Structure 1
Amino acid sequence: MRYAKSWRRITASGVAALIVLAPVRGSAAGDSSADPFKRIACTAGAAPTAVPADPAFPTFPKLPGDLAAHPGIGWEGWYFVGHLCAGPHQFAYQVAFTVGKNTAETNIAVTDLNTGAFHQKWSSFPLDQVSASGSEIAVRMPTGSLTGTLDALSLRGVLPNADIDLGLRATGPALYFGGTGLIPLWGTTTYNIELPYFAAAGTLTLDGTKYPVTGTAWMDHQYFAGDFSKFKKWTWMAVTLDNGDRIALLDNYSTVDEDHAATVLHPDGRIEVAELVPLAEDAGAFWTSPVTGKRFPTRWVVRIPSIDTRLVVDARPRAQEIVRTSAASGVYEGAATATGTYRGRPARALVHVEMLGDWR
């Protein structure tokens, strides 16, 4: 695992404490509730903090400019995942936009956490049906759009039976994966910025019922100039802890490299990079898709020894696969919860799990 090992040259513990990326004020954890997971879902993104700013040292990529499109880069994606509350009703969602060399795609999903129903659709479009600005955050496709600034983003994603229409406001610092936002993957470099502190408010229409909702969003923006020819399988997790910290986890396997890393972001902007015990080692509760035949784990044990962390992640419902055109190309995009210990103390978290590739 490349970058975690390089950070061990700096600290004997294997953890790199980097610098503050952006100032914040207040607590990201919110007030108490009888349902600890609902408390995280409804309040975790709502801290009245500063909009993320560029750090004071040279780094790449940068905010806010690199959230715009990079024409000609090869592949670029804007992913939003999060949780929404409408009174006692809770939902998880994903709205994702990707632009490649020849086509563009949306991946949109809603999980009804009360009933366990999962609604999804993958769509592909020729490039002449989409637009992605190189000077501002403005991505438009037939089934969704993303426009605005970090303190006032508009996010829309449309399914045959659902419409996600949210206003988002950044409330905390940015997470640069690996401490720099430069990830060595598949023989090339992927550029990555994650913004895990967003307050969300708007409406979710599902099966004809329109719900006023509030909640959270986590944005993941990636771009790179390579291709997927060396890719084998990948797991990414976005972990929203009840104490306000965020953890991005990566478990990557390719024909040329293997990476297992955790990046921890604190509400005050401090970032830590730590080595992750491969998630695949403790994966279980496998679920087989009746549509694609793909087999995915739905339970994992997250182990980060250098920060005394062990979390059991459980995806519910099990069936949360976005089905693409090819029968063999389903992608798991699942809402999950986690319980265990973080830095040696009891912890709970809401988690989004993404899995691509062959996990049989």
Structure 2
Amino acid sequence: MPLTRPGWVGSGKHLLAGLELAVREVNDAGGIAGRPLELVVRDTAADPERAAAAVDELAHLGVAALAGEYHSVVARAVAARADALGLPYLCSSAVLDALTEQPTDWVARLAPPQSRGWQTYADFLLGAGHSRIAVAAQPSVYWASGARILRDHLTPRGGTVIELDMSTLTPTTMCEELVGSGATTLLLLVGHPEPAASIVKAVRTDRRLAKIMIGAPAGQPEFAEWATSLGADGAAVPFLRYLPEHLSPLGARVEAALRERLAEVPSFVAFEGYDTVAVLAEVLRAHGTDRARIAEAWPHVAVEGTRGQIRFSRVPGVSVWQWAWPPIQVTDRDPAQPDRLRTRHTR
């Protein structure tokens, strides 16, 4: 997980909190066949090479399985190395459809694939009357994939996607491009906190762009750091989150425990961390620590998670075992109370 910059540290913090809470509960209940479940943590810092080296180290240490990661490009490196080593990997939060180059039985995933989430976001935009969409994008496999999904989904429905290359533009020059684009929405396909925060501030202070809606499908506004750094400017920026409209009793109990552990509202990433351990603990109880047997168990999983029953299947266009489907929301922060989240659209 990313615990230091340039990784999204908030996501790593929440992912770790969910993993640690679930491990503590497993061990309080007697562990796995009487043995404690141990969580061995490594910081990827959003660096694919560092993450791949961590996989080699953990494999050498004899771990039964890998878990976690938030950044899709990093998760791809983890998945590729895990597949090569024959090490089962349950990806908690990364969404790239093609998490591996070829289909693999070693990797399973809890987060919905990017195509499903971002198509949901595109439907939200159309339903809200936005069909001319500008995207401020940095070079990345993840951002390029997101822009392609949006274009492929919006164009047949009368929408237009205009790309603004943030490798050549500053927030100020991007505003100049945006003014002449005719777009009614600007989507942030960029890193957090920078340049995302600077772009938001530049748009919010440009009177010519007062009617532009800012969106962040990748979920940057989910974390408290967004509200802290941007305040009212960070409100009304719709983003994707993977929670149900109403939590189950299990989800509500876990939410309260996570809130106490984090001293803030837990993000969907914290729930993904908890559910990751819930799945792996059940697999370890039923199949032991043999790596091949763990990987063979993915299609037989049926675990009640915090956001619904988790089962894995093969989904067209997705190269790993996929939970189909986690709940998807489009959410934003309430302008009247930026620390309160509003649900704008569900799938």
Normalised TM-score (structure 1): 0.30
Structure with the larger helix share = 2
Q: 1 or 2 for the larger relative contact order (CA 8 Å, sep ≥6)?
A: 2
TM-score (normalised: structure 2): 0.31
Higher Cα Rg: structure 1 or 2? 2
- Whichever structure has more strand as a proportion of its residues is 1
